[in-house]
């Protein structure tokens, strides 16, 4: 009779074999799918529907991994799947590349590619297609488990209940006359002569404000999950709680496969992106300047990597040591944020994301909501300190701190002073209006 350890070992071996080996029947099916792809790319042109159909034959990531190995015979004319896609799909195959990436997404395979638009606004495929992640077979089974959260009524109700609150937050904020004065003041200070006379100076009386109001009055939540296939989802990370699409000021896409603990804050964050897309409330320069000082040197991933301590003995850079001493935290607390800059997969794919102006404005708006800052109040260092030392956690605060770290930890009180000067309600006449917490 087998003992427990022997059974455990056999189960472990069986799991490994299941990950790596297909039975002959499924192997032959995958080979048929590959031959279909060979046929689709032979001769002039590419039958993208046939390629898509071939991928649809595959049942799981194990079979997709096997398919990738078949390209070594170069019957398609290419030695690997990724090169074939980049060479065979041209710029007008944008919708085809979206369908392909969404089909792969159903197996948990993540991809990315470059896109753009022509002068008529038509989306184009600009190449650089790549596979960024292939899950294990066990991961794939989890993704397709019936208990995994999908776009069901519970998810929809949860978000729909928060949408009126988020709309009210922004309506009250935008309608306050002090907000408009702040907007005009910041555009005056952050614009050059020509941009002032192109309409930014009088932004409060321009069409932008009516577009803000129109957007808020007609916002619509579009729900999706990891199993759903639609154009517009291809550029998002599966771990995103929600996203909005450039040029569409009415739709907010909600990912029901992620259990967002703060949908109200996320909606405030995403609505800011829509507002920014219509017309930013603050010029980019004003937002950029909040996170730098006269001594700031532009950081790159390589510079951040080189500045991190190595070996058993930790030697911190002067910016870490001096800042830690000045604000009363441990050097390790600041080193943590620099290390995150190095390790973040999001920043490896998009290094500019951490300090992108629209992201910072969305982070700041959500922070004001989280910290329950009343009208006329400011974000202070004491409010952020528990997040710097990781006694508390908030995603939006984290992204602000990462931008702070990337710029070499400029004086935090000066940074917050600049942040607090960005367009927001600063009147003492409305202190009892608790709905306006921007």
Q: What percentage of the chain reaches a pLDDT higher than 90?
A: 37
pLDDT 10s digits, 341-350: 877 766 676 7
- Say if residue 7's pLDDT is above 90: no
Give me the DSSP letters along 57-71: H--SHHHHHHHHHHG
- Say if residue 144's pLDDT is above 70: no
C-beta of residue 206 within 8 angstroms of C-beta of residue 279? yes
Q: Residue 275, Cβ neighbours under 10 Å: how many?
A: 24
Compute CA distances 343 → 48, 314, 349, whole Å: 36, 18, 11
pLDDT value, residue 227: 66
C-beta of residue 394 within 8 angstroms of C-beta of residue 340? no
Which tokens sit at 291? 């996170």
Which of 102-116, 160-174, 421-435: highest mean pLDDT? 160-174
- Say if residue 266's pLDDT is above 90: yes
- Say if residue 264's pLDDT is above 90: yes
Decide: residue 149, CB within 10 A, 0-12 exposed, 13-18 middle, 19+ buried. middle
- Say if residue 194's pLDDT is above 70: no
pLDDT band at 97 (very low <50, low <70, confident <90, very high): very high
pLDDT value, residue 28: 93
> From the CA atom positions of the chain, what is the Rg in Å?
26
The pLDDT of 406-427, averaged and rounded, is 80
- Among the residue ranges 42-46, 139-143, 336-340, the one predicted with the least confidence is 139-143
pLDDT value, residue 199: 46
Q: Put residue 255 in one of left, alpha, beta given phi > 0 → left and psi -120 to 50 → alpha.
A: beta
Decide: residue 193, CB within 10 A, 0-12 exposed, 13-18 middle, 19+ buried. exposed
Query: Distance between CA atoms of 47 and 84, rounded to whole angstroms?
Result: 13
Choice between 164 and 257, residue whose per-residue pLDDT is larger = 164
For residue 115, the surrounding DSSP H or E stretch is: strand 115-117
Query: Distance between CA atoms of 368 and 392, rounded to whole angstroms?
Result: 16
Question: Which positions ≥6 away from 245 have C-beta within 8 Å?
Answer: 232, 251, 253
What one-character DSSP code corresponds to residue 124?
Answer: E
The pLDDT of 41-48, averaged and rounded, is 88
Q: Mean pLDDT of all residues in the chain?
A: 79
- Say if residue 17's pLDDT is above 50: no
C-beta of residue 331 within 8 angstroms of C-beta of residue 321? yes
Lookup result for tokens 């604000």:
327
- Say if residue 87's pLDDT is above 90: yes
Of 119, 3, 107, nearest to 55 by C-alpha is 107
Choice between 304 and 1, residue whose per-residue pLDDT is larger = 304
pLDDT value, residue 426: 39
- Among the residue ranges 1-10, 115-124, 307-316, the one predicted with the least confidence is 1-10
pLDDT 10s digits, 213-247: 999 999 999 888 776 655 455 444 566 888 888 77
HSE, CB side, 13 Å, CA atoms: give it for residue 294: 0
β-bridge partners, 124: 116
Question: Which positions ≥6 away from 363 have C-beta within 8 Å?
Answer: 269, 396, 397, 399, 400
Judged by DSSP in three states, 203 sits in helix
């Amino acid at each position: 009779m087998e003992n427990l350890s022997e059974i455990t070992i056999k189960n472990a071996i069986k799991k490994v074999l299941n990950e790596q080996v297909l039975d002959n029947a499924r192997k032959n099916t995958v080979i048929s799918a590959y031959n279909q792809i060979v046929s689709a790319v032979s001769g002039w042109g590419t039958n993208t529907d046939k390629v898509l159909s071939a991928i649809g034959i595959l049942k799981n990531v194990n079979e997709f991994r096997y398919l990738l190995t078949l390209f070594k015979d170069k019957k398609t004319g290419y030695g690997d799947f990724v090169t074939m896609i980049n060479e065979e799909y041209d710029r007008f195959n944008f919708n085809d590349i979206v369908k392909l990436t969404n089909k792969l997404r159903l197996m948990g395979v993540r991809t990315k590619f470059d896109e753009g638009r022509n002068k008529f606004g038509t989306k184009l495929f600009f190449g650089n297609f790549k596979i960024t992640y292939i899950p294990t077979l066990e991961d794939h089974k989890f993704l397709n488990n019936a208990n995994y959260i999908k776009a069901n009524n519970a998810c929809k109700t949860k978000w729909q209940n928060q949408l009126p609150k988020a709309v009210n937050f922004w309506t009250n904020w935008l309608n306050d006359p002090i907000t408009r004065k702040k907007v005009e003041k910041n555009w005056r200070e952050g614009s050059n002569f020509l941009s002032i006379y192109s309409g930014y100076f009088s932004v409060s009386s321009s069409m932008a404000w009516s577009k803000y109001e129109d957007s808020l009055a007609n916002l619509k939540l579009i729900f999706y999950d990891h199993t759903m296939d639609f154009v517009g989802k291809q550029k998002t990370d599966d771990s995103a709680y929600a996203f909005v699409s450039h040029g569409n000021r009415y739709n907010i896409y909600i990912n029901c496969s992620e259990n967002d603990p703060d949908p109200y804050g996320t909606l405030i964050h995403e609505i800011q992106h829509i507002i920014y897309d219509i017309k930013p409330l603050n010029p980019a320069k004003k937002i950029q300047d909040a996170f730098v000082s006269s001594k700031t040197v532009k950081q790159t991933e390589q510079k951040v990597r080189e500045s991190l301590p190595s070996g058993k003995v930790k030697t911190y850079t002067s910016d870490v040591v001096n800042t830690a001493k000045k604000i009363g935290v441990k050097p390790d607390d600041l080193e943590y944020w620099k290390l995150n800059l190095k390790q973040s997969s999001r920043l490896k794919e998009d290094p500019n994301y951490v300090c992108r102006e629209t992201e910072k404005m969305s982070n700041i708006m959500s922070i004001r909501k989280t910290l329950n800052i009343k009208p006329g109040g400011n974000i202070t260092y004491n409010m952020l300190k528990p997040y710097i030392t990781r006694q508390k956690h908030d995603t939006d605060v984290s992204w602000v701190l990462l931008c702070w770290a990337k710029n070499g930890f400029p004086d935090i009180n000066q940074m917050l002073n600049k942040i607090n000067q960005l367009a927001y309600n600063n009147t003492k006449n409305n202190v009892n209006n608790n709905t306006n917490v921007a």
